[in-house]
Chains A and B, each alone.
Chain A
């Protein structure tokens, strides 16, 4: 029997493609009448190009990437929408052993505290003045990694453009580049931080989940034209992804999920190295271990809801770092890119908890809070940035103005 819907999806070999991969491999897609054809890709540029030319209907994408596509920041501009988020958190910032020693001399401790680590790094950078700047890597200019690394540095008094250098390195090459001394640190998703720790060549200094609690990472990007022409297929896919995400979150399935992702067709990395992302129990290097609450959430805390406030925060950072001018037109494109309406209409028949709002004030919830939602109850937060700043999507002009450099 052929499936009612054929959907071609691209993904990158990263742990946070798990919800998409499991949807195809564990039968969630088939149960919704979807035959999901998964294609592993080698670069984000390929994902973007293949979405743009129609090779892929949907893809595992960096959260800001559909914005960049829709805003015309990419070589092949294409209207791409986001009806589903693949999870919250999951990234770390890792530095070389040499940088860690320098940071320790300035008060850094293996506790993942972003403010403490940032202060130590700032002191190290000032001490090194006059020497070649430290070089940090991220995976893409339009990535959560780039923006959270820059946010952390700037909040700690380090200018990411003047005081250090930021380069782009593909995730699987990060640990090698660090070991070879080509870079001094990086921000990337798991398992590529734990890989450096396991190799004894790097130390994890802080994590995304502590820089901005419950912050967005990868999403499902969908060609807008395809979404318009195939509403039933898209809704079926979103329901499959919902069930898959719930399955991925369940601790009882960790072993099976790690074994699935370990297959060469997907992540191709040993199961053991995926456990830190699943359990939040991180080896930081040098024998230090820390457990991070909500390190990576594929389902809990409304992790799959495509909040417009997430897209708008990415937009403010594109403006902040000079990738884009802040204009009413650009803001409107950014606002229209994430599509909670599509998410809501697809999941409504399931009777699951759905947020009533499309956006939220990021940093307003100090503790886990049940919120108004359709159907069952929904718990959000705690959320917020490590420096106590609040992002109110209704006050974007003020937020952007407040982040302008002197």
Chain B
């Protein structure tokens, strides 16, 4: 049976991540991939799709409901194995770390599932890296804004040049072993308390 003949269902409320996984599976030669974002009516969908493998994110609070449904549903032959194989501790840990889990129809050989789960794990990791970088970039921008405001306050109230204002912030941060953005935030907050106009 070639890779393409396996039917894979991806359940993920995060549409972006789901489509990243889908793209990866298609690249790897799995042509029968279905995405589901909402678990409402999932029993009917599973009966229609008859997946061999179900990939689901661990953050989905409906996992308990899905597992029970798998056990009761005739659409999916029970029992359902989870992750790759009970004995494969490394794969299980990697999957849980990445936040992904796969339900596998009984009788499907371990070697067939491993690449699918491996792909899902790497895509999950790539997605969280991307999300983290985006968050860092956003907070970087926020920091820069608050530092600019703090500089403005120092320039106005102490009559400093922009350069001197920044140097003062940096020196204070170093003395207190804190980040410049934190010092800047404290200053902006304090100024807001002292002067309602500054606080806006």
Contacts and interface: CB of A to CB of B under 8 A. Distances in A.
Contact of B82 (A43, A55, A76, A167): A76
Contact of B63 (A43, A141, A172): A43
A169 B69 CA distance: 11
A45 interface: yes
Interface in B57-86: 58-65, 67-69, 71, 80-83, 86
Contacts of B64: 43-45, 139-140, 168, 170
A43 B89 contact: no
B92 interface: yes
A77 B89 CA distance: 12
**Contact size range, B:** 20 to 34
A45 B92 contact: no
Given A53-B92, A75-B81, A45 B86 contact: no
A5 interface: no
A32 interface: no
A77 B60 contact: no
B74 to A, nearest CB: 15
Given A53-B89, A76-B86, A173-B61, A45 B96 contact: no
A76 B83 CA distance: 9
A187 to B, nearest CB: 14
B86 A77 contact: yes
B93 interface: yes
B65 A170 contact: yes
Contacts of B67: 45, 75, 168
A345 interface: no
Nearest to B40: A182
Nearest to A173: B61
Interface string A154-180: 000000000000011110110000000
Query: A43, A55, A141, A173 — which one has the most chain B CB atoms within 10 A of its CB?
Result: A43
A49 B94 CA distance: 12
A43 B62 contact: yes
A46 B92 contact: no
23 contacts: A42-B58, A42-B59, A43-B64, A44-B64, A45-B63, A45-B67, A49-B58, A49-B92, A49-B96, A50-B96, A53-B93, A75-B80, A76-B82, A76-B86, A76-B92, A77-B86, A167-B68, A168-B64, A168-B67, A168-B69, A170-B62, A170-B64, A172-B61
Interface of B: 58-65, 67-69, 71, 80-83, 86, 89, 92-93, 96, 101
